[in-house]
Structure 1
């Protein structure tokens, strides 16, 4: 990367992590116009666009993703080298996962890892954000549910859960040992917001079988979704990892595929990353 200095690379790495000039400038302790100018100069030196604006969101271009990965790799190599000289402590590992994954799957492993005196920085993100963070090097390890694991990352199955219907005890299906999607004909369901992967898969499965259904309410996050079910707003289809109370019945849905959670890393994982993976598994 001729003509690029460490400060430029670090500034772009921070911007790539936030994809937001205001938050990135605050972390770097510079003004937003100064950061904007620095990244524009980077684009001029490379002769390529590093990000695109899509509505209110900023997305990295392919070159931008490559530069972010290079910047993070350079930072990690420098920190590793300095660590061998005892000049600087190594940075904490970064783990990214969804809120439900933290709540239901990772609590005990994280406690054990921290109890060993290890440093760990936690971030939250959905599946696409988790993959992007690991791919770009802004996270060392990701844990997320995937339908098809990507070929460019190391993906190891952490756990697998059936999809289940949860409902109150007074619902017409509450006494069933299992159901099929056709049993939800004309049902009003509590579902995640439109566009969420779980909602998309449910909609496709219902459409494939020609099943009519409606939205009782949209709920962001498993805990709120379970709360609405307890209130009697309607039943919901959830991952089998989601915890419920005794007031809610859990019924396996036989014709929906299981949900698989993966540990995601890059191919050049360090010994520290392998230790964290081993503890998660």
Structure 2
């Protein structure tokens, strides 16, 4: 049994796809498939169900996965201990981010790269749910996420901004005459929202559920700018961060939501426990100082 076989197996299990897993580990797909087949022969059991559109774990695969992760984590921890003793700063950093924010992430990463050119940095956009899961499993070292008042389990955060979530409509919309509306006013109305898994959508779904209804999502897009454009054209009521909506007041009418009000937080997040590479530790420290100075 080889560590790379366990690494490839974990990648396929998490990605549920051989092509994405191969890209993640920077190996051609046939090589990943061949190594996992060897691992399965060694166990005498198939670990992956390849019959559907996505790859799923078999019962044996479910049993092996936590041990494979633990083995990889142990090796990573040993390497970190040696690197720290030697004072080295190298390896890889995986950073995640939600789509829209005002953090100078390119500036942060560029400064880090200039100071530590031996560290390979990757950046990926995803929903908050995907980012939180990636932080917990070690796929991401740090991420910018959108959350509510509760800190996701297993993570530490530094709040970047906290602001109200508002509705935004075109200036000729029937709601445009109102400065505030109750959440119940949205019942049955066509809404324009970010997709499930995003922080703002989670706050909307939670609040509507407490008030006894499910939001009617007519249009869904991952880019807040698209939501603003759809609302400005009169296609529905957009759910947006307050500052984002107010910055487009020439074409949108931001309206506060009351009873209850909705609030969200943008935060820089990292894993609370487990091995942290020297590179990740330095980046997290840099990011926290930058964010503290900008507030």
TM-score (normalised: structure 1): 0.75
Trace 1:1-281 onto structure 2 (pairs within 5 A): 4-12=1-9, 14-15=11-12, 18-25=15-22, 28-32=26-30, 34-42=31-39, 56-58=53-55, 61=62, 63-64=64-65, 67-68=68-69, 70-71=71-72, 74-75=75-76, 77-78=78-79, 81=82, 90-100=90-100, 104-106=101-103, 108-115=104-111, 117-118=114-115, 120-147=121-148, 148-193=150-195, 198-199=200-201, 201-210=203-212, 214-240=216-242, 242=244, 244-245=247-248, 246-254=250-258, 255-266=260-271, 267=273, 268-269=275-276, 270=278, 271-272=281-282, 273-281=284-292
The residue matched to 2:172 in structure 1 has which SS? coil
Shift of 1:55: 6.0
User: Any conservation in 1 of the 2:143–2:269 contact (CA below 8 Å)?
Assistant: yes
> Which segments of 5 or more consecutive residues in structure 2 lack a partner in the other structure?
none
> Which segments of 5 or more consecutive residues in structure 1 lack a partner in the other structure?
none
User: Any conservation in 1 of the 2:98–2:126 contact (CA below 8 Å)?
Assistant: yes
How far, CA to CA, are the matches of 1:18 and 1:278 in structure 2? 33
How far, CA to CA, are the matches of 1:171 and 1:123 in structure 2? 36
User: Any conservation in 2 of the 1:168–1:174 contact (CA below 8 Å)?
Assistant: yes
User: Any conservation in 2 of the 1:134–1:142 contact (CA below 8 Å)?
Assistant: yes
Distance 1:218 1:39, change over 3 A: same
The residue matched to 1:253 in structure 2 has which SS? strand
TM-score (normalised: structure 2): 0.72
User: Any conservation in 1 of the 2:162–2:263 contact (CA below 8 Å)?
Assistant: yes
How far, CA to CA, are the matches of 2:129 and 2:46 in structure 1? 22
